[in-house]
Every structure is written in structure tokens, then in C-alpha cells.
Chain A
Amino acid sequence: MITLQGISKSFRVAKRSAGMRQAMKALFVREHAIVDALRDISFTIKEGEIVGYIGPNGAGKSTTIKVMSGIMVPDRGSCSIMGYTPWQERRAYVGNIGVVFGQRSQLWWDVPVIDSFELLRDIYKIPHRSYAGNLDLLTETLGLGSLLQTPVRQLSLGQRMRCEIAASLLHGPKILFLDEPTIGLDAISKIAVRQFIKTINKEKGVTVILTTHDMSDIEALADRILMIGNGTLLYDGNLDELRGRFGTHRTVTVDYRANATPLDIPGASLLSWSPERAVLSVDTEQVLMALVIARLSEQVELVDVAIETKPVDELIVELYKEHRI
């Protein structure tokens, strides 16, 4: 559905240096630096996938989204999305996609949400019947009911984000680009937004590409991760693979009825111990978890067991480290 082939893009950025003399000089002669925002990016995304697009700030995420949504023309490379080249047939193409920029609103600030929706209906030339159908569905699944009559400026961030997402889906796009959709949201709104993204992906088969810094978004949603750093694609795979690569260690915390003898579990190292609680580190490549649990229950009366994987955040940091970005 989406194919990028060797996409590259560089910008000329004016150098600004400190000092009065330099500033005077810059009035007449500007020195420029060339920044490679994207270098030879290639990937394919199939219909119905949810792809998490991650990378540190300034890595090129937004630039890629801009290229894919037809806003920006790359220097080199080809891109085919649903048979269109986004930047060549912009107007024909963009009717098939929805874009949410988490930091910017697409709703009209001073009027009720429904007015914005109706204007969008005219902008996208949505037939009345499918507009009504989509609106009903979105109102129901996103719980917009009472919000529709409220002016946008009176909405909370979480409410607004739900409306933003609804606004970009009114025309029934096949692909949804989400640029940091959960930024600044509280826990409840975050979960609602994630839930909804899953729903439209499952039920309407919408392909979703989302950029985020919140790894729990990725954990909850993405089947697949694309990681970019310094304009280069560094990782393309699913989260489990990434876990397998870096995180075969699990932390096991066990609570048990008071026991004076320290635990002795082959293949696991004891991180801390007290008569009621112990924390173990287990390398799942060395020893089966089932075996560890079995040994544990032989030695103590287990009350509770908690097994923790290394948080995704840390995996990502390790990945960044590996690529020195």
C-alpha cells in the first residue's frame, strides 16, 4: 500500500552565530549549512498495519510524514501510496488520507466543533449519507456527543484531541498519519485515543502510521516499529524482535510466607533478599521461566509473583546507543 524507495531530502539552513560583528556580517552574507534530513529511506507498509515511527527529536520523523502526506517534495527517491505519488497528484491523493498533527489544531477555534466538521464536509466533498454515517460512528466510539456543540477553545486538551482525530476521519480515509497524537494527554484520554485507533484499524481496516515519543503508545498499538536516527532508517521490525535482541533478562519479584533460608535458584541471580520478599534476575535464554517458578514454589510458599520485562523505553535507549544517536 505504501512504498518508499530511496527517499532523500536535505535542507539549507542559515548559520547564525553569536556576536555583534557576526550579526552585522549576516545582514549581507549568509553562510549556509546543508543538513541531511532524510538519507535513502526505503520501506513498505501493507494495508491494515499499525506502524510506530520513532526516533529522537530532529531525526527526520516529521519530514518523512510530510513527504508521505504530499506536503513536501523530496530531493531524490520515489514514493507510491495507493498508486499515487503524493507530491505530484496532491489534490487527488490527499482525499485518501487523514493527518493529525498533535501539536496543531485543524479545528476552527471560536466555533462549535460541529461547525468545523461541516466545513470539512464541504472541503472534502463528502456525500451527505457517508458524512452522516461516519459522524455517527465517530461520535459514538469517541464519545463526542456533548462536545459537538462546544466551541473548540473551551475543550480540554484530551477532548480536543478526540475531536481532532474525528475530524481527520470524517472523509473515511484509508490511511491515517498521526504525528504525536497523545502528546500532553492525561492517562484516561491517552487510553481512549489508543483504544479508538485500534478500533478503526480493526473495523475499518485503516492503515495507521504514528510518530510518538511515548513508548507505551507503541507498546499498546504498533505491530511494527520503524526507527529513524540522523535521517537514516535504523530498525524495522516488531517489538518482540526488539525485546529478543536486547531484553532476554526478566526481573522476578516474589513475595512469600516468612522463610529464613535464602533462596537458591539455578540460572537466576539474586538481586535482593529479605525473609518475605526476593528479587531475582532471570536470563530467559539460559533458563526456562517455568523452571524458575517451579523451583521457587518448591522452596517457599509463594504469595505473589511479578515478572517484569525491561521497559520499552530502555530498549529504545539501548537501540539509540547502539547506533550512537
Chain B
Amino acid sequence: MRLYMHYLAIQFKSQMQYRTSFWLLTVGQFFIPFSVFAGLYFMFERFGQVQGWSFYEVALCFAVIHLAFSFSECFSRGFDAFSTLVGSGDFDRLLVRPRTTALQVLGSKFEFTRFGRLLQSCLVLAVALIHLPVAWTAAKAVTMLLMVTSGVMIFTGIFMLAATLCFWTIEGLEIANIFTDGGREMAQYPLNIYQKWVTVFFTFIIPFGCVNYLPMLYILGRADGNGILYMLTPLAGFAFMLPCVLVWQFGVRHYRSTGS
């Protein structure tokens, strides 16, 4: 962890070398999801609600998934940008250092400009929380925290899978975007507005539904049955991480035996 913080510090220092570019990108990152959110707002202006969901409830969904996405893009950027590391051969360098490859890849790149997006998501979250009539308890606050971390886990997991693909082919990245960008777009709405198979896919295969939709039912007091179960659904994100790490390790082994 100490090492991770050190990586963070040195990368921050590096990015600060290019301040103008940093500020421009950060502002840009603030406005990209902002336009999406504005679209959301106008849609609700027109229709009032979507399948029984109010604007602020959807905003909560939106904020959680975007928060998770910005955290992942900032702190797991190393995996997201892994193709350059393999392409340039710098991955060999990581292998001659006495630390795990995963930690070193994480430390190889951070994208601090995503703070723009992060800030925007925080604002949306604040707006949603102020307007939603939720009786807050400690358990609900913990759930909230779990939701975001779980989302980070899932996005990072997908980044890792995409990165693993780089051991076989350098140009395989677009496929992963279907799941990261696509998943993010889908999961900014409550999952039950979609077709059944979409819901199933994003609950059991890539558990985005467990990040915001299901635990949100608990927070909003809409869950029927055992509330604890709903509260703990974000743990699915942590479970999702496990096979991703295994696949990553398999990829590293493949790389070391073929050196492609």
C-alpha cells in the first residue's frame, strides 16, 4: 500500500509537469458526463418518470456508476492503458522487480484528469441525495460506500481482462469497451427497465446491477424480503474480481512462456 501511494505521488508529480494540458482535460472530463446528465434531465422533464422511477432515483443510479467509473479510470488506468506497456516491451522491466505484476501495472499509470468526472458525479450524487426522502442509517451509509467500491472492482476487473487480452493481441481493446462504456451507459438507469436477458446478464455475468440497482432498492426502502441480502449484493463486485485476477495471472504465465 505504501508503495502504491509512492507510485501515486510520482505519477502526480509527472502529470503536474504539463499543467495546461491537465486543466483542459480535467475540465473536459467534467463536461462529458455532464452533457449525458443534462440529457437525462430533459428526458425526465418531458416524461416525468421511467417505469416508476423518479428523476432523483435515476440520478442516484447515474451518480454511483459514474463515480465508480471515474475512480477506476483514475486509479486502474495502468490496466486500461496496458497495451502500450506490452507493446513497448516495458512489461519485461516489471518482471525483473520483486513485486507482483498487478501492483506494478496499477502503479504504472494514473489518470488524474478524471477528477473532473469525479467531481461532476459527486455533484449529481449530492443533488440526488438531498432530494430523495431517505431515512439514513449507518447500514445505509455503509451500503453506499460498498456500492461505489464494488463498482470500482468491476470496472478494474474488466480493465484487467482487457489487459490480459493484450498478451495475445495488441488490438483487442475495443471489445472491452463494450463492457466498460456499454456497461456504464446501461447501468446508469435502474436495471429493471430493460429486457429480461439484459438484466440477467448485468446481474450474474458482469454484476453491474449489484453495484447500484439492487442495493439502491434497499436504500430507498423498496426491497421486498430480506434487506440484508440486498445490502450485501455489492459484494458481487469483489467476487467478480477474483476470476479476473486468475485470468490475469494466466496471461502473465502465457507471456513468460511465449514472450510475444
Is there an interface contact between B97 and A71, defined as CB atoms closer than 8 Å?
A: no
Q: Does B246 contact A (CB under 8 A)?
A: no
Check if B226 is an interface residue, CB within 8 A of chain A: no
Known A-B contacts A71-B256, A87-B256, A104-B90; A123 and B13 likewise in contact (beta carbons under 8 Å): no
Asked if B3 and A73 make an inter-chain contact with CB atoms under 8 angstroms apart, the answer reads: no
Within 8 A of B (CB), among A52-109: 63, 66, 69-73, 87, 90-92, 94-95, 97, 99, 101, 104, 106, 108-109
If A95-B98, A111-B14 touch, whether A104 touches B259 (CB-CB below 8 Å) is no
Interface class of chain A by DSSP: mixed
Query: For the complex, is B7 an interface residue (Cβ under 8 Å from A)?
Result: yes
Report the nearest A residue to B259, measured CB to CB: A72
Task: Give 9 A-B pairs besides A91-B100, A111-B17, A123-B98 with Cβ atoms closer than 8 angstroms.
Answer: A11-B258, A66-B259, A71-B92, A71-B259, A90-B95, A91-B98, A97-B96, A104-B90, A108-B10
Check: B243 CB closer than 8 A to any chain A CB.
Answer: no
Q: Are B14 and A73 in contact (CB under 8 A)?
A: no
Minimum distance in angstroms from A194 CB to a CB of chain B: 23
A151 at the interface (CB under 8 A from B): yes
In the assembled complex, the CB of A93 is this many whole angstroms from the nearest CB of chain B, namely: 8
Which residues of A sit under 8 angstroms from B253, Cβ to Cβ? 73
**Docked pose: A151 CA to B88 CA in angstroms:** 21
A246 partner residues in chain B, CB cutoff 8 A: none
Q: Are B93 and A104 in contact (CB under 8 A)?
A: yes
Q: Which residues of B contact A123 (CB under 8 A)?
A: 3, 97-99, 104
Q: Given contacts A91-B100, A123-B98, are A109 and B14 in contact (CB under 8 A)?
A: yes
Q: Which residues of A contact B258 (CB under 8 A)?
A: 11-12
**Please, could you name 17 A-B residue pairs with CB atoms under 8 Å apart, sorted by A?**
A66-B259, A69-B95, A69-B96, A70-B96, A71-B95, A71-B256, A94-B96, A95-B98, A99-B96, A101-B93, A104-B88, A109-B14, A110-B15, A122-B3, A123-B99, A123-B104, A124-B97
| Chain B residues, CB < 8 A from A66 | 92, 259
Size band of the B side of the interface? 20 to 34
Closest to B5 in A: A122
Please report the C-alpha to C-alpha distance between residue A12 and residue B17 in the assembled complex, in whole angstroms: 42
Asked if A122 meets B14 with Cβ closer than 8 Å, knowing A70-B95, A95-B98, the reply is no
Could you say which residues of chain A place their CB within 8 Å of the CB of B104? 123
B2 within 8 A of A: yes
A132 at interface by CB-CB < 8 Å: no
* B2 contacts across to A, CB distance below 8 A: 122
B6: interface (CB < 8 Å): yes
Is B90 within 8 A of A91, CB to CB?
no
**Residues in B whose Cβ lies below 8 Å from that of A12:** 258
Residues of B within 8 A of A95 (CB): 98
Is A288 an interface residue, CB under 8 A from the partner? no
State the interface size on chain A (CB cutoff 8 A): 33
Considering the chains assembled together, what is the distance between the CA atoms of A108 and B90 in angstroms? 12
> Which of A71, A109, A110, A122 contacts B96 (CB under 8 A)?
A71
Chain B 77-104 interface mask (CB, 8 Å, partner A; 1/0): 0000000000011101101111110001
Please measure, in the bound complex, the distance between the C-alpha atom of A11 and the C-alpha atom of B14, giving whole angstroms: 38
A110 to B16, CA, bound (A): 9
* Bound Cα distance A122, B253 (Å): 25
Contact with B along A107-129 (1 / 0, CB 8 A): 01111000110110011110000
Q: Which residues of A contact B (CB under 8 A)?
A: 11-12, 63, 66, 69-73, 87, 90-92, 94-95, 97, 99, 101, 104, 106, 108-111, 115-116, 118-119, 122-125, 151
Minimum C-beta distance from B10 to chain A (A): 5
Which A residues are in CB contact (< 8 Å) with B90?
Answer: 104
Most buried by A among B2, B96, B97: B96
* Contact of A104 (CB < 8 Å), options: B10, B13, B89: B89
Q: Which among B7, B88, B98, B259 is the interface contact of A119 at CB below 8 angstroms?
A: B7
User: Which of chain A's residues have a CB closer than 8 A to the CB of B93?
Assistant: 99, 101, 104, 106
B99 touches A91 (CB 8 A): yes
Distance (Å) between the CB of A100 and the closest chain B CB?
10
The residues in B between 218 and 235 inclusive whose CB is less than 8 angstroms from any CB of A are none
Shortest beta-carbon distance, A172 to chain B, in Å?
13
Interface: B20 (CB within 8 A) = no
Residues of A contacting B257 in the complex (Cβ-Cβ under 8 angstroms): 72-73
> Complex Cα distance A59/B1, Å?
41
- A-chain residues with CB within 8 Å of residue B3 when the two chains form the complex: 122-123
Nearest A residue to B253, CB-CB: A73
Q: A122 — which chain B residues lie within 8 A by C-beta?
A: 2-3, 6
Contact: A110 with B259, CB < 8 Å? no
CA–CA, A72 and B91, complex, Å:
12
In the assembly, what is the distance between CA of A96 and CA of B258, in Å? 25
